Structure 1
Amino acid sequence: MLEELEVRNLGPIRSAVLAPGKGMTAITGETGAGKSMLLSAIRLISGATAGVGRVASGADAAWAQGIFDVDASGKAAGLARDAGVLDEDGDAAGTDSDESGRQELFLSRTVPASGRSRAVLCGHSVPRNVLGNVAGELVTIHGQADQLRLASPARQREFLDMAADDQAEREAYRAAWEKLQAMDERLHNLTNQEASARQRADYLRESIEQINKVDPKPGEDDELKEKRSRVENAAEIAQGVGSALSALDTAQVDADSDGLGASEAINHAIAALRAIHVGGSFEQAADRLESLNADLSDIIFTLSNEVDTDEDAEGLDAINSRIHELDELTRRWGPTLEDVIAWRDKAAFEVEDLDASPEKVEELKAQRQQAFDDAMKAADALSKKRKLAAKALAGTVTKELSALAMAGAGLEIRVVRRDASSTNQQNTVHDDESGSSASTWPLDVNGIDDIEFLFTPFPGSPQLPMGKSASGGELSRLMLALELAVAEKRTSGSSDMTFIFDEVDAGVGGKAAVELGKRIARLSRTSQVIVVTHLAQVASWADTQFVVSKGSTQGSGSKAPIETTVNEVTGDARVHEIARMLSGSESATSLSHAQELLASSKL
């Protein structure tokens, strides 16, 4: 939510600070007082185009800053981290995070009287579009200049998908679509091979054949090199092992020897110690000698096997030849035999993709058709979910419009399934003049549907696309109705969103104005809402109210420049402002009416 908006030298506003509440905040004031400048400030920090004409007369630059309290794990904070202005702990210049998982983001914009504007995110200069992307997750402005955003089919599709809560269906379709795209790419590469691709295939086949001919095994080269070393040093090994066995156990090398080996000597020592019946340290020493003798026996057994090993000195040439073959493989495709084997296996898959034989092409076409059928099935499931949501959403919005003084107005949401059977395009793989293939019609990355929002602003009016069919006030009320219809779903996905409504009360009065204020207040129960209004019946529902007023600079004479101030009104001051909005005066009657209106404007 927006915690604070600070503005300096923007139009008639020299300096102002706005601290909206958590619920509904109303901005009021006489026509021409400068309320639009506050919206201009929010648009600036949202990445809008900056005009030097907005800089206050005599000032070097205009400046606006918004401080937002956001979920540290949310999308806005994630975009800030992606931009490099926050680390993984959420710390950066001009920011602060707490243990509750919340994060403050500072979005500011400087517009000089001459030159280019500067966008700053959390104390770091960033491109304007980065500021806009972050603000897009935090602020939604519904004013005459902002309604065209939902006029695009892409925005309408996104809005409907949010209302449909169809994330699971969209993810399933996206996975099927990506698989289909991958199959199309494989087919394209296969059927459009150039000479270089064929040369690559020949090289891979020859390399695989060479590796398979040698048939290397993992670790085989190390084993052979160890064996070669044993063969080359067989005499030295035999002499050393024999001498060691003679010292440890003479019976291993001479069965007739009467010499006492080390193992037998230790056994005598153990027997002597066991014969001492005192125990204590003597028993402990005997135990240690037994453990030592067990290790010694194991060593003697191992060495005796080495004596029996018959190393084939005549096979040394074969060993060297095999090592040479393996070294050639590792030199070309290594550095290890494991790398050689992995390269061969990967190359085998690549050869399959480069194999343009008719059988291979037909096999891939069949796989591609299956991928297309799977994508169509996923697209149909997504389309069904969208159609159900479109009917429900349009009905809810139409009811809301009636309560917002737009009886007879209505919204229709068309979800039109693209059907290849009504066109000349086909769903199967085909070759075109360029040799490419694989049509994905009627699918695209977003599914199989064309989505259109059609608005009827008054009875008898034709259905026209949004953004081209109504006044700014009517569109603002339509957007309010849309936001009310999806408020619960939107806030469940992003509780940080701030909604701003301008001109939503145009052409509204009486009981309809009360209903309008009530519905804005209802939306503010789940989201922060800021509304710029001329109607007391709307402002009275607000939790917080600011008044924008203008006046001459003190002590500057009759030609003093006009400056705008922004002040929060509470208590009696708010009663007086509501009275002014009701009747243009602050008479006892209007003040009484204002008090009554404020008392009754409660959900």
Structure 2
Amino acid sequence: MLEELEVSNLGPIRSALLTPSKGMTAITGETGAGKSMLLSAIRLISGATASVARVSAGADSAWAQGIFDVDENGEATRLAQDAGVLDTDSEKTDPDPDEIGRQELFLSRTVPASGRSRAVLCGHSVPRNVLGNIASQLVTIHGQADQMRLASPARQREFLDMAADDKAELDAYRQAWEQLQAIDRRLHYVTDQEASARARADYLRESIEQINKVDPKPGEDEELKEKRSRVENAAEIAQGVGSALSALDASQVDSDSDAQGASDAITHAIQALRTIHVGGSFGEAADRLESLNNDLSDIVFSLSNEVDSDEDAEGLDFINSRIHELDELTRRWGPTLEDVIAWRDKAAFEVEDLDASPEKVDELKAERQQAFEKAMKAAEALSKKRKLAAAALANTVTKELSALAMAGSGLEIRVTRRDSAGKGNSASKKNAKDDASSCVSTWPLEVNGIDDIEFLFTPFPGSPQLPMGKSASGGELSRLMLALELSVAEKRGADQSDMTFIFDEVDAGVGGKAAVELGKRLAKLSKTSQVIVVTHLAQVASWADAQFVVSKGKSGVKARNAGSKATVETTVNEVTGDARIHEIARMLSGSESATSLDHAKELLDESRI
């Protein structure tokens, strides 16, 4: 929702501050007063192309800023966070209860008299398209220059999907579509790149076979290198271990030896200490010696095993050969044996995908057929819901158009299966041809389903149906868009409560009772979304919750390259109370006579019913 729009030095507007109502706001004023500059300001902060011609005479730059109050969990906030201008962890201290879950976004644009424009989001310079992406979530302008957006088939499909409330069906279809695409990519890889795939598969098979032939075990190379070191130093080890055992326990080396070892000496010392029956530390010393003797026994046992181990010097050649084989593996697929084993296991899976054998291709084609049938079923469910919604939406819009002084006008929404009687747009057919030439065609399926969607508008009785956007004046298109927005207002619900709809020229060619109906319907739309309407009809403006008047006058301004001269300056002021009654009277009759003032009061009172 737009909380505030501030403009300076934009065309005839030197300075203006607009604070629209949460509901409906009317912008009025005489023709040529500069109402279009306010729309230009909104387009600027929405990322539109900037023109230096819009900079006021004598000013160095034009500037516009919009402050929007948005849902902190909404898409606009997410886009701002992605742009790096919002701290996702920031928390307000002492927040107002009404502000909980809300976020303010500041969108501004500076257009210098010479040079490039500057886009700013919440105080941070950003690319212009960032403002455009965020503004697209917040503002929808329905004016003569903005109607072509819904002329595109993609926009029409998005609008119909929103009206159909078919998110579940659309998500189910897109999931099935992605599965189909994944299988097609595998088929494409196997069939269209068969030669390179076969070469890759052969390499992987040979590599796997080579690794399996060696059959490495994790850490085996390190164990072998340690064993080799022991074999190479066997004599030195035997001599050292034998000397150590002779000193500790000679019987381990020579069973007939009577020499006393360290273990025997400690045992003797323990026995001597145990014979002392006088209190003191003798028992503690004996305990410590026993603990020491146990450790010593473990060491003797371990060293004796070393003596008994048979380090076969003749096996050294085998060990070296095995280490060489393992080193070859780690050199090619390492750096460790664990990496070699992991590479082999991964390669085994890749070989399956690269298998271009007829059996594998047939298996993939069968899998692909199942995925295609699943996607077709999901597409048909989506198409059915779209067709029901299209009929209901077109009927509702046609009724609304009749109340908006467009009796005889009508909207038809065609949802055509892409495979029916060979119909379908040329782009779809080209895609199908491309798919068929590369692998297996997905025709008639595309990323958004099986349907071609077209909005056809009949502007007056007897007129042929024409594509939307090419068949009506700006005012007629604005009223058509109002009818569309009204028809889906309830569908939008809370998800679009932050949206601001701006209508320009919506009252062109309308008067009398139809103008009252137009104002009433704009007010109805403002119950679910913020509405700003630029109008010259009192019957429309009277329904607004707030009204701003754009007026012009002369002002002395010093031009950049000349002396002082008189220029036209536009002001924007909110009118309330008696001032609003006078403005409604002016709009009714061009004067502020007693009769027109009474009529204005009556009109305002009736609009509040």
TM range (shorter): 0.7 to 0.9
CA drift of 1:7 comes to 1.6
Q: Which amino acid aligns with 1:563?
A: E
Partner residue, 2:39: 39
The TM-score with structure 2 as length reference comes to 0.82
CA offsets per residue over residues 358-398 of structure 1, 9 Å max, x none?
A: 33322222222222222222222221222222222222222
Of the structure 1 ranges 560-569 and 237-246, higher mean CA displacement relative to structure 2 is found in 237-246
Q: Is the 8 Å Cα contact of residues 501 and 530 (structure 1) preserved in structure 2?
A: yes
Q: What does 1:401-550 align with in structure 2 at a 5 Å threshold?
A: 401-419=401-419, 422=422, 436-550=438-552
Q: Is the 8 Å Cα contact of residues 45 and 131 (structure 1) preserved in structure 2?
A: yes
Q: Distance in 2 between matches of 1:508 and 1:9?
A: 33
Partner residue, 1:210: 210
Q: Distance in 2 between matches of 1:374 and 1:183?
A: 13
Of the structure 1 ranges 250-259 and 411-420, higher mean CA displacement relative to structure 2 is found in 250-259
CA drift of 1:510 comes to 2.9
Q: Distance in 1 between matches of 2:191 and 2:381?
A: 33
CA separation of 1:391/1:561 partners in 2, compared to 1, >3 Å: closer, same or farther? same
Q: Which amino acid aligns with 2:548?
A: F
Of the structure 1 ranges 409-418 and 505-514, higher mean CA displacement relative to structure 2 is found in 505-514
Of the structure 1 ranges 507-516 and 26-35, higher mean CA displacement relative to structure 2 is found in 507-516
Q: Is the 8 Å Cα contact of residues 477 and 504 (structure 1) preserved in structure 2?
A: yes
Q: Which amino acid aligns with 2:568?
A: I
Partner residue, 2:570: 564
The reply to whether residue 313 of structure 1 matches residue 319 of structure 2 is: no
CA offsets per residue over residues 319-373 of structure 1, 9 Å max, x none?
A: 4433332222122111222321222233233333433333332222222222222
Q: Is the 8 Å Cα contact of residues 198 and 356 (structure 2) preserved in structure 1?
A: no
Partner residue, 2:357: 357
Q: Secondary structure at the match of 2:218?
A: coil
Q: What does 1:190-201 align with in structure 2 at a 5 Å threshold?
A: 190-193=190-193, 197-201=197-201
* Alignment gaps of 5+ in structure 1: 92-97, 277-284
Q: Distance in 1 between matches of 2:496 and 2:290?
A: 74
CA offsets per residue over residues 433-492 of structure 1, 9 Å max, x none?
A: 997322111111211110011122333332221112222222111111211222233343
Q: Which amino acid aligns with 1:321?
A: S
Q: Which amino acid aligns with 1:192?
A: D
Q: What does 1:74-85 align with in structure 2 at a 5 Å threshold?
A: 74-85=74-85
Q: Which amino acid aligns with 1:213?
A: K
CA drift of 1:212 comes to 1.4
Q: Secondary structure at the match of 2:103?
A: strand
Q: Distance in 2 between matches of 1:271 and 1:533?
A: 119
Q: Secondary structure at the match of 2:497?
A: coil
Q: Which amino acid aligns with 2:574?
A: E
Q: Distance in 1 between matches of 2:470 and 2:300?
A: 96
Q: What does 1:170-181 align with in structure 2 at a 5 Å threshold?
A: 170-181=170-181
Q: Distance in 1 between matches of 2:370 and 2:544?
A: 57
Q: Report the identity percentage.
A: 78
Partner residue, 2:584: 578
Partner residue, 1:592: 598
Q: Secondary structure at the match of 1:561?
A: strand
Q: Distance in 2 between matches of 1:238 and 1:498?
A: 92
CA drift of 1:198 comes to 4.4
Q: Distance in 2 between matches of 1:569 and 1:165?
A: 40
Q: Secondary structure at the match of 1:560?
A: strand
Q: Is the 8 Å Cα contact of residues 556 and 565 (structure 2) preserved in structure 1?
A: no
Q: Distance in 2 between matches of 1:270 and 1:70?
A: 89
Q: What does 1:178-189 align with in structure 2 at a 5 Å threshold?
A: 178-189=178-189
Q: Distance in 2 between matches of 1:108 and 1:209?
A: 65
Q: Secondary structure at the match of 2:134?
A: helix
CA separation of 1:431/1:363 partners in 2, compared to 1, >3 Å: closer, same or farther? farther
CA drift of 1:567 comes to 0.5
Q: Distance in 2 between matches of 1:265 and 1:241?
A: 25
CA offsets per residue over residues 577-601 of structure 1, 9 Å max, x none?
A: 2222223222333333333332332
Q: Which amino acid aligns with 2:607?
A: S
Q: Which amino acid aligns with 2:605?
A: A
Q: Distance in 2 between matches of 1:597 and 1:404?
A: 19
* Alignment gaps of 5+ in structure 2: 92-97, 559-563
Partner residue, 2:382: 382
Q: Secondary structure at the match of 1:462?
A: coil
CA drift of 1:141 comes to 0.2
Q: Is the 8 Å Cα contact of residues 552 and 561 (structure 1) preserved in structure 2?
A: yes
Q: What do you get for the CA RMSD once the two structures are aligned?
A: 4.3
CA separation of 1:378/1:253 partners in 2, compared to 1, >3 Å: closer, same or farther? farther
Q: Secondary structure at the match of 2:63?
A: strand
The reply to whether residue 167 of structure 1 matches residue 173 of structure 2 is: no
Number of residue pairs aligned between Structure 1 and Structure 2: 586
